[in-house]
Amino acid sequence: MSRLIVVSNRVSAPKDPAAGSAGGLAMALSAALRKYDGLWFGWSGETVETFKPEAQFEDRAGVTVALVDLEAQDVDEYYNGYANKTLWPLFHHRVDLTEYERSYGEGYERTNARFAEVLAPLIQPDDLIWIHDYHMIPLARDLRRRGITNKIGFFLHTPWPARQLLVTLPYHRRLVESMFDFDLLGFHTREWLDLFRDYVASEPDIHGKLLANDAMEAFGKTVQAGVFPIGIDVDAFVEARNSALGNRTYDRMAASSAFRSMIVGVDRLDYSKGLEQRMLGYEQFLHDNPEMRGEVFLLQVTPISRDEVDTYQDIRQRLDALSGRINGEYADMDWQPIRYLNRTFRRDQLAGVYRAAKVGLVTPLRDGMNLVAKEYVAAQSPEDPGVLILSRFAGAAEQMGEALLVNPFSREELSDAIKRALVMPLAERRRKWESLMQVVRDTDVGVWRDDFVASLRAVDPQ
């Protein structure tokens, strides 16, 4: 059986496969690599004064990882710059926050070429190569230039932007053209794939053709594409929920909310998550329903991310101020309406928190999928499940229609949904949860992983 080589910006293979804090995606890919005797390749997270085209190898819980150190300039221009200041906001429809610096684009091209220089000698003739996310879009092109003819797949973990927004990106055509050096492109939802196909078919001078079964032809090449909705490792998450720490956390949170209903939101600090709009919608609920003040509280868990990027420092300050203002206006001597935490918690702890929450509030302004929505559902008690409120602009909304779908830009819709969730009868909550839980099981991360690998293996090479 051929090896599978997983390539991502930063290697996240867990050193301990039983670690509760390990991400579901990392664990799923690690399992795939053990199954296929594979290799995980990516940035080590470390910087060096001078780049050396060589990899350092480690064994992490039975997975071989190949790590590459980058120069500080690479990290600044490629990662902090083009990836996080240009592509990330653009792909999330935030053109107002997108920074178009020529040096960022040059660093992005240079660093991907460096990855290809190190990776190419490690590839064996029968290897399958699976490249992940917007950080590494040109990598297949750079590998092809070095003579690699293996099947190469790409999966985008973010949304794909509308054509009218993508064309604001300098050299947008070159970026899309490099994607035709892959054999298979994977997207979370039909919407993201259709937006990509719209660009290929509609952008002048490309003369792209849409073929059967979501294949496309452009730039003298053909690429296969497909929808592969990612999920969580359901069994592992249920195990975490039922673990000793998961149960202790549930007992603790249930006790603290014995006389009040807990609403929970868990998101890393990012403007795409709609955190300001969420707090304003919750404030609207408090304003609209004075009789329910003191009977609910919002627990918002928001670990800090990308703190070296100015935009993220700004949003942190705004959220600190907003949560403080709402608490100052509405709190009582024995009640605080918002508990706002900038901490990271283990997965089993979060499972206990989700289980105790009457409402899961997942309201990004735009999101590739959003696995918190699926984790919240998986954590619920079948006998007395909570209610999921989900943004219609999250990729998960395409699958999870039994959630209360909302427009996160509307304070009134958020306020109304929170009240409906809190007063929803048990029979309706059970019916919705059973339907949502079936979706979560049907789209387990193992299904996603195996479907993509099988599709890549089956695609006809260019």
Report the alpha-carbon distance of residue 13 to residue 33 in Å, rounded: 10
Residue the block writes with tokens 């990290």? 75
Q: Could you tell me which of 77, 112, 378, 76 has the C-alpha nearest to residue 246?
A: 378
Of 69, 157, 214, 270, the active-site residue reads: 157
Residue 293 phi/psi, 5-degree rounding, is: -65, 140
Report the alpha-carbon distance of residue 208 to residue 205 in Å, rounded: 9
Report the alpha-carbon distance of residue 105 to residue 5 in Å, rounded: 26
How far CA 83 is from CA of 9, 40, 70, 109, 199, in Å, comes to 10, 20, 15, 11, 21
Which pair of tokens denotes residue 436? 């949502």
Report the alpha-carbon distance of residue 394 to residue 400 in Å, rounded: 10
Q: Could you tell me which of 399, 337, 342 has the C-alpha nearest to residue 373?
A: 399
Residue 188 is among the residues annotated as catalytic for this protein? no
Report the alpha-carbon distance of residue 225 to residue 199 in Å, rounded: 14
Report DSSP state, residue 211.
-
Beta bridge partners of residue 362, listed in sequence order = 390
Q: Between vectors from CA 29 to CA 26 and to CA 34, what angle results, nearest 5°?
A: 120
Which amino acid, one-letter code, is at 414? L
33 with 40: CB under 8 angstroms? Answer: yes
- Strands in 209-210's sheet, in edge-to-edge order, are 56-60, 63-71, 39-48, 4-10, 128-132, 152-155, 184-187, 221-227, 216-218, 209-210
**Helix, strand, coil % over all residues of the chain, rounded to 5:** 50, 20, 35
Which pair of tokens denotes residue 83? 């990836």
Of 69, 267, 367, 444, the active-site residue reads: 367
Residue 367 is among the residues annotated as catalytic for this protein? yes
DSSP state letters, 367-413 = BS--HHHHHHHHHS-TTS--EEEEETTBGGGGT-TTSEEE-TT-HHH
Element containing residue 160 per DSSP (H, E):
none
Active site residues: 157, 367
